[in-house]
Copies of this chain bind each other. A is one copy, B any other.
């Protein structure tokens, strides 16, 4: 995973964005994932700093660099990657799926600054913009609707850059209840069912075995054992003594 210092090596470059809400959304996603360097090239609305949806990203927007050309916006970067919705046959650059492209970007961020370019909401990056790029990435959308919302596209690309494929191993699992704990619950439940006449004496052994199997299928967690025992004890007590009070 990229270290914070390396996240600082990514420049998110929005080219000719038309909607301040999208610029705000891009800034918000950057803030969510720990990126800080936003650059805008010829934004359609000069008032992009007022972007309202950018909860928690005001500082990031205030420090965003404003440029009049892609060349200037990427001048300090040693890798320039464009984003596109179109498929390979239509582009004249190497085109990589995001899953793979992000891995290459991450590798590059270990050594130098990388620019990630996003085009306008309506037209994407122009051929002129694209000619500044080393290669392109596309988000793997379905053929029927390849056009993504700009703010969502930025969020997904940044997420892919910080995602951790090995997170699985580190996630906590709930501890399962032990055989002994499950049996205490089984015995108590069988007792409750016997008291409440659910369990007929002549079929007690058979019913108890069925209950035992059912309780084992519940995948009880260790943390819930005492609560279930408490519930069963309470019901058992009510069955024995509760009714008598009402009578």
Contacts and interface: CB of A to CB of B under 8 A. Distances in A.
Contacts of A146: 32
A156 B28 CA distance: 14
A128 interface: no
A33 interface: yes
Given A172-B88, A174-B94, A167 B140 contact: yes
A145 B56 contact: yes
Contacts of A50: none
Nearest to A94: B174
A90 interface: no
Interface in A49-97: 53, 55-57, 88, 94-97
A148 interface: yes
Interface residues of A, number: 49
A99 B140 contact: no
A140 B161 CA distance: 11
A173 interface: yes
A99 B56 contact: no
Interface in A147-191: 147-149, 151-152, 155-156, 159-160, 162-165, 167-168, 170-174
A173 B94 contact: yes
A25 interface: yes
Contacts of A98: 163
29 contacts: A25-B149, A25-B152, A29-B148, A29-B149, A31-B144, A32-B141, A32-B145, A32-B147, A34-B142, A53-B149, A57-B145, A88-B172, A99-B163, A99-B167, A99-B168, A100-B167, A100-B168, A103-B168, A140-B162, A140-B167, A148-B155, A149-B151, A151-B152, A152-B152, A155-B155, A155-B156, A156-B159, A159-B159, A165-B165
